[in-house]
Amino acid sequence: MAKYVEISEDRKIVRLIQTVFHLVFSVHFWLVSAYGVYMYCSVTEEQLKEPLIMMAKNYALAYGTLWNASFQTMFLGLALLHDMLRWLDKHESKIGRKVKYFRDVIFNGLVFPFTCFVTGMFWCVYLIDRELVFPQVYDQIVPWWLNHCVHTNIFIVIAIETLLTRRRQPTDVKVERCLWVFVSVFYAVVYYSIYFFGGCWLYGVFGVMTWWQVCIYQACIWGSTWVFYNLNFFVNRMIHKEADSSPKTSTNGDLESRETTFQNTSKVSGVATVSKNKDVELNAKDGMNENGKTNAAYLNENNDENGKEWTSIGKDGQLDKSGTNFKRNQSSL
């Protein structure tokens, strides 16, 4: 039986937009990273006389903004690689499924929650008193556009990605939560270690708080990123409402098997299992429909847009004359 590969024009357009989007922002973050290295190396001795600039250079790798930008760069690289595999029709290969898996767990567990926190917290504090989060003296070394690249554009990335890609449920709950816990705790250890051993706060907002206020603030940081992690899926379900009737994925991110129910008015019903090779097997409750035709014959006459050539088969794969079981080859869902 023939296999059918059919991609609607709308899906092609969406796929093209996704690829261009991932390519543009991948290049964007790589250029930002390159400029960041240049900026770090070009700080003058005169500028280093300013204590805040000296601190910023000494602890540059400890800033949460840099960590989050790194997460986005990794995600965009994996997303672009998966787009290329899709265009080459290799996305269902072993490598393709792994790339998709890591792309999604990084986005869900790291990119979305920490980007929402960095953007929201930075600009809220900045508008209240910029000296508490981005002192004016930093303008000597950090241009205004670079500030927006790492604090504003990062939110644009997750906004567009959420609009273009369905992530209605976690890809792998355990892995995503472990990533979130590890980064949250490890960054706190790094941050407070700098204060206890280096004698300075990376962000001035901590310096105006008492210790009990710092503890509450830290709890709010963890709590807000956890809320953002769960908000990701809620927002995605709100945007992609039409996906409610789509098949449900029952694996941890790899599209290995999905279940859906087939029903029609001629008493042909059953449960279909879609495997990796996209062969669809349907065990019907009734071998014959009400018109006296086999299920396979009925489906070929009343075929949907996905393909034709339903054939009655038995458990051993041979032709089943009773018409109870039938099979169709289908290359895409």
Bridge-partner residues for 127, per DSSP?
none
Residue type, 205: V
Q: Is the pLDDT of residue 92 over 90?
A: no
Nearest to 278 by CA among 257, 292, 295: 257
Position 4 in a domain: no
Mean pLDDT of 157-174: 93
Residue 32 and residue 82 in one domain? yes
Position 158 in a domain: yes
pTM of the model: 0.71
**At CB < 8 A and 24+ separation, what contacts does 284-287 make?**
284/324, 284/325, 284/326, 287/322, 287/323, 287/324
Of 189, 221, 245, the domain-final residue = 245
> Which residue range forms the structural domain that includes residue 276?
257-329
Dist. CA 323–CA 35, nearest whole Å: 67
Position 241 in a domain: yes
Mean pLDDT of 56-76: 95
Residue 203 and residue 294 in one domain? no
What's the chain's length in residues?
A: 333
* pLDDT single digits (tens) 212-226: 999 999 999 999 999
Residue 177 and residue 321 in one domain? no
**Total domains, the chain:** 2
Residue 233 and residue 283 in one domain? no
Residue 316 and residue 217 in one domain? no
Position 86 in a domain: yes
Q: Is the pLDDT of residue 299 over 50?
A: no
Residue 238 and residue 263 in one domain? no
Residue 211 and residue 309 in one domain? no
Q: Is the pLDDT of residue 15 over 80?
A: yes
Instruction: Give the three-state DSSP class for 22.
Output: helix
pLDDT band at 30 (very low <50, low <70, confident <90, very high): very high
Residue 103 and residue 168 in one domain? yes
Position 251 in a domain: no
Residue 121 and residue 238 in one domain? yes
Q: Is the pLDDT of residue 68 over 70?
A: yes
Position 1 in a domain: no
Of 214, 245, 276, the domain-final residue = 245
Give the DSSP letter string of 175-241: HHHHHHHHHHHHHHHHHHHIIIII---SSHHHHTS-HHHHHHHHHHHHHHHHHHHHHHHHHHHHH-G
Q: What are phi and psi of 74, to 5 degrees?
A: -65, -45
Residue 87 and residue 198 in one domain? yes
Position 2 in a domain: no
Highest mean pLDDT among 7-16, 94-103, 292-301: 94-103
Residue 234 and residue 262 in one domain? no
Of 245, 275, 301, the domain-final residue = 245
Residue 107 and residue 45 in one domain? yes
pLDDT of residue 7: 52
Position 284 in a domain: yes
